Homo-oligomer: A and B are copies of this chain.
Amino acid sequence: VVDAALAIVDEGGPSALSIRAVAGRLGVNPNAIYTYVASRAALEREVVEWVLADSDIAALGGPAPWRTRIVDYAVSLRESLLRHPAAALLMMTAPMNGPSALRVGEGVIEALVEAGVTQSDAARASYVLIVQVVGFTALEVAETDGTPPLAAESERITSRREALDPLDEAQWPRTAATKDVAAQWISTDQFIWSLDLLLDGLASRPIA
């Protein structure tokens, strides 16, 4: 049921997800889908839940130091999203409140409390982290056609670099001087750098 939706989304990209396409793949009339799902929006929630459940949530609870746990999990969530690129944008279209989202939230707060920040700062910071992870990946995916497998990261960086080439140095000196950095904005390096920046900011706060 939801499997069909995922298959469609993976083959045809985000715009291909439709009630009618799912029905077609299952060899059934479009309205028959409404027996299993209330609306197209509900179907989208199911896809998001599936991808979130696919990420390595267990990594958040392991024996590793809190910082490693958070970064490893964030990387695993990004990887899950890149495997199902359409899901990245879908995650931004409704609050994340399914069962897997609750597990993730609980695990991140737990790890941050271990880090020594207050419980309420941990809750605030957990949201900053998920906004960053999901926002980063959604923007990354927006530059592709959305059908897996995506081009290798290095290829995507190269084509970004080429796109930045004709930039007017007189008008945008700072931007022009940092073309190579901007080309890498979608890289795993930049992703982890972002997380480290956030976590460094937390480390500079008063302790619980």
Q: Which residues of A contact B (CB under 8 A)?
A: 89, 92-95, 97, 102, 105-106, 109-110, 113, 119-120, 122-125, 127-128, 131-132, 134-136, 138-139, 142-143, 163, 171-175, 177-178, 181-182, 185, 190, 193-194, 196-205
Contact = CB atoms under 8 A, between A and B. Distances in A.
A201 B190 contact: no
Nearest to A167: B102
A200 B205 contact: yes
A174 B119 contact: yes
* Oligomeric state, in copies: 2
Contact of A123 (B92, B128, B163, B178): B178
B92 A128 contact: no
Given A127-B182, A134-B135, A143-B95, A110 B174 contact: yes
A205 to B, nearest CB: 7
Contact of A201 (B175, B181, B197): B197
Contacts of A131: 131-132, 135-136, 139, 194
A132 B197 CA distance: 12
A114 B42 CA distance: 47
